[in-house]
Amino acid sequence: MRQSALFALPAVILLSACSGGDTTQCTAAPQSAWHDEARFRQMLVDQGYQINQFKVTEGNCYEIYGFDPDQTKVEIYFNPVNGSIVKREEG
């Protein structure tokens, strides 16, 4: 029994290290607390964003690919509950 536990522990550690390592987490709130997708997208367009792609990520984010109001090419992860920017990449 002890030997199988020794083999199981590295597997658990490996799975923990691999799961979500690259996933940006935005919220743990239920989707009922999120902004409506269409309204959120329209709010961004009204602010001057050009959205080429809009999606919901595994980390519970609204993610856009496109251009910000300054015409900088961006990938932005938004918290869908409060609209804050969680992660922004340019270029």
- In the predicted model, is pLDDT for residue 11 greater than 50? no
pLDDT for the residue numbered 67: 99
- Measured between alpha carbons, how far is 91 from 72 in angstroms, rounded to an integer? 7
Task: Report strand pairing: 73-78 vs 50-56.
Answer: unpaired
pLDDT for the residue numbered 22: 75
**Whether 75 contacts 88, CB under 8 Å:** yes
pLDDT digits (tens, 9 = 90+) for 13-32: 444 444 455 789 999 999 99
* CA Rg value for the chain: 18
pLDDT for the residue numbered 21: 59
Please compute the mean of the pLDDT values over residues 59-86 and round it to a whole number. Answer: 98
Confidence of residue 87 (pLDDT cuts 50, 70, 90): very high
Q: Residue 63's beta-bridge partner residues?
A: 55, 77
Please compute the mean of the pLDDT values over residues 36-42 and round it to a whole number. Answer: 98
CATH of region 23-90: 3.10.450
